[in-house]
Structure 1
Amino acid sequence: MDKNTKSADGTSIAYETSGDGPAVILVSGAMSTGGTVAPLAVPLSKHFRVAVYDRRGRGASGEASPYAVEREVEDLAALIDALGGEAALYGTSSGGALVLRAAASGLPVRQVAVYEVPFAVYEGGAQERAEYTERLTAALDEGRRGDAVELFLRLTGMAEQMIQGARQSPMWAGMETIAPSLAHDNAVMGDGLAPRDRLTSITAPVLAVAGSASPAWMHEAARAVARTVPGGSYRSLEGQTHMVEPEVLAPVLTEFFAK
């Protein structure tokens, strides 16, 4: 990240830009930094000025206590100001929940696109989210970062054998380093349910996208966003999973953001 901006509370937010044109900010999800969405910036930068950034508490960005979701919205406000005062937003997974919050807060946002925000639209989803919150909080409070990462991976549906394999891999140390930010994403998701009052207040056009190879509830969560936002629309990407391929997603976002 070669640039920095100061959020309202003084926290330094690291970001980088590529391309020219209307500003687009890409927002990563849980267990990730700006580098995770950087591959998507490559095709988008042919049409837009694209910014990727490290959310607070990750990568090259700073952290301040106590954490509050409102601070992350202020981080986006600072980025939008640094990019000229208006931007379109794209968020993946829980990053999508963050950009929906930002749009609902009244920031100068042209359009919003989200990919598979994991709202708990399935039976028992709210209870599962509550149990995850309790166990995650305990693990992080007790310094059990590895256990926190395991909890998150189970929440995503990863098989136990794969989780244990990951724990023995070289990448595990990096995952433990970023584990405290899991609490941030959990706070962004709230109770896990699609926040109807917040979504109905969004005035910017919203595109909710899901991959056809993802679980059915992911599609229903995307449809719920599209149905609830006054200017919402839904799109399914053939053959894609939660780990969407940038070259498949980019043309859809380009078309939407160019409107």
Structure 2
Amino acid sequence: MTEYTDTSAGDRIGFDRYGSGPGVVFVAGAGPFRAQDATTTETARLAAEQGVQALVYDRLGRGDSPADGDLTLDRELAAIAAAIDEVGGSAVLVGHSSGCSIALAAADAGLPVTALALWEAPIGQFEGGAAGFEADFLRHLDAGDLDAAQREYMRDMPPEFLEGAMQDPSWPQIVLGSRSYRADARSLAWAEELPADERYARIAVPVLVMVGEHTFPGMTESAEALQAAIPSATFRVMPGAMHEWEAGPMATAIAQLAAQGG
């Protein structure tokens, strides 16, 4: 059953809660929300069976978290803070793709984060740098051309991703979702604005950096660079493919991290 909570920025987020124990909050990347993300839901349920309180919320502008105006990174961090409050005031953040850079920004901002689990963070993978990527994406988004914004956002992904998305009957709905990617683009640019060791200097909690056994070129290198830049980080190759994890092993890794970080 969907629950709701209000954020300090005046937004309302919808979420599902599973289990009890140390808090875990899942932070999606660009696109997914609860109704279409069965893997994250199953992971949260399995993690809850291992003694955590797992919360899966819809990012602003998606699913049960409708929001107007510019969906900034600050508003997204306020949503994460509200989600953390719902699980007892502190939590492990589980970031997926660009949700990793948002989770890192949340920890850097001083939110009560006990640990970070980061799955395939696309940090440092944009041709010409993430600042240029953000500027190009926002030029289309701010002009109201959501189709161009969506295509721009996917420009450095494997070409088959964009080709498949554009052929999907749900492409018009995918395009509408691009207005919720402002925080993703900002967090990815934020991650590159300082040298990595300086950028993550304030992150002292345990960090588990992960990639799937069958991942895309560059993902492992990005993960290894994160692990090298964050003294508290470890790197692990996990069961998974096509940018997705397998629910069972991921749930166990998250529950173990929550036990350490809590």
TM-score by length of structure 1 reads 0.88
Query: Secondary structure of the residue that 2:56 maps to in structure 1?
Result: strand
**1:127 aligns to 2:123 (yes or no):** no
CA-CA distance at 1:64 after TM superposition: 4.7
1:171 matched residue in structure 2: 170
Once the two structures are superposed, what CA deviation does each residue of 1:11-33 show, in whole Å capped at 9, x if it has no partner?
11111101222111111001122
Q: Residues 170 and 29 from structure 1, CA distance in 2 versus in 1: closer, same or farther, beyond 3 angstroms?
A: same
Once the two structures are superposed, what CA deviation does each residue of 1:137-182 show, in whole Å capped at 9, x if it has no partner?
23223332222222233321233xx634532322212202211112
Once the two structures are superposed, what CA deviation does each residue of 1:170-204 show, in whole Å capped at 9, x if it has no partner?
22122022111122210121156374333121121
The size of the alignment, in residue pairs, is 254
1:182 matched residue in structure 2: 181
Greater length-normalized contact order (CA 8 Å, ≥ 6 residues apart): 2
Amino acid at match of 1:236: V
Do 1:114 and 1:209's aligned partners in 2 also have CA atoms closer than 8 Å? yes
2:46 matched residue in structure 1: 43
Query: Secondary structure of the residue that 2:214 maps to in structure 1?
Result: coil
1:15 matched residue in structure 2: 15
Aligned equivalent of 1:103, options 95, 102, 107: 107
**1:71 aligns to 2:72 (yes or no):** no
TM-score by length of structure 2 reads 0.87
Greater shift, 141-150 or 201-210, is seen at: 141-150
Q: Which runs of 5+ in 2 are unaligned?
A: none
Query: Secondary structure of the residue that 1:117 maps to in structure 2?
Result: coil
Q: Residues 225 and 22 from structure 1, CA distance in 2 versus in 1: closer, same or farther, beyond 3 angstroms?
A: same
2:93 matched residue in structure 1: 89
CA-CA distance at 1:222 after TM superposition: 1.2
Q: Which runs of 5+ in 1 are unaligned?
A: none
Greater shift, 79-88 or 186-195, is seen at: 186-195
Query: Secondary structure of the residue that 2:54 maps to in structure 1?
Result: strand
**1:197 aligns to 2:201 (yes or no):** no
2:63 matched residue in structure 1: 59
Amino acid at match of 1:233: T
Query: Secondary structure of the residue that 2:169 maps to in structure 1?
Result: coil
2:31 matched residue in structure 1: 31
Q: Which runs of 4+ in 1 moved over 4 A?
A: none
1:5 matched residue in structure 2: 5
Identity %: 29
Query: Secondary structure of the residue that 1:166 maps to in structure 2?
Result: helix
Do 1:29 and 1:94's aligned partners in 2 also have CA atoms closer than 8 Å? yes
Q: Residues 128 and 63 from structure 1, CA distance in 2 versus in 1: closer, same or farther, beyond 3 angstroms?
A: same
Query: Secondary structure of the residue that 1:210 maps to in structure 2?
Result: strand
CA RMSD of aligned residues (A): 2.2
Do 1:212 and 1:241's aligned partners in 2 also have CA atoms closer than 8 Å? no
Which whole-Å CA distance do the structure 2 matches of 1:19 and 1:133 have between them?
37
Amino acid at match of 1:253: I
Greater shift, 26-35 or 231-240, is seen at: 231-240
Do 1:54 and 1:60's aligned partners in 2 also have CA atoms closer than 8 Å? yes
Amino acid at match of 1:84: G
2:226 matched residue in structure 1: 225
CA-CA distance at 1:61 after TM superposition: 1.0
